[in-house]
Amino acid sequence: MDNGSLDSHLFKEGDHCILHRDVKASTITLDFGFNAKLGDFGLARLVDHAKRSKTTHLAGTMGYMAPECVSSGKASKEADVYSFGVVALEIACGRRSIEPKYEESQASLVAWVWDLYRNRQLLGTADPKLSMDSDAKEMECLLTVGLWCVHPNQNSRSSMR
């Protein structure tokens, strides 16, 4: 928001950010005009920008949690970016983040999309229901943004902005 949070005006603590820690398709709602709104802040934490990450108990949903968050238990802005990227890939591919019905090499959406990207078959991951009606360049852009957000190196991920 243009004027930041009420907290920053009342207490001059504008150098904080909110880590949602559970960005996923079911915590994003759509209004009448299909504008997305992030909800369910039950796992969210307010953290200081100056602190890179904070050790917390493991929180989130498997399939949406960044690998470094799973292994270290540290929440970060980059972990929320990772979760956002998974949602972008779900939209583009028409698949859930984890699909046990597929063979092991395709069960993880992120791993499957990275594999097809490496084999120069990125558009092969596009949801067939969407690819007929959408522009291939737009689909490639969405998939690329999703992959950028789920980059294995958290320092190489896009910022939330």
DSSP of 101-146, one letter per residue? TS-HHHHBHHHHHHHHHHTT-GGGGS-HHHHTTS-HHHHHHHHHHH
For residues 24-44, give the mean pLDDT: 73
- Please report the pLDDT score of residue 149 as a whole number: 93
- Please report the pLDDT score of residue 88 as a whole number: 92
| Domains of the chain with bracketed CATH | 12-156 (1.10.510.10)
In the block, tokens 């490639």 appear at: 140
Query: Beta partners for 74?
Result: 55
For residues 16-40, give the mean pLDDT: 73
Residues 91 and 105: their CA atoms lie apart, in Å, by 20
Residue 20 pLDDT > 70: no
Instruction: Give the global pTM.
Output: 0.73
For residues 99-114, give the mean pLDDT: 84
CB 19 within 8 A of CB 47: yes
110-159 per-position pLDDT tens digit:
999 999 999 999 999 999 887 565 688 889 999 999 999 999 998 888 88
**End-to-end CA gap in the chain:** 12
Q: Which residue numbers are catalytic?
A: 22
Residues 89 and 92: their CA atoms lie apart, in Å, by 5
| 113: DSSP letter | H
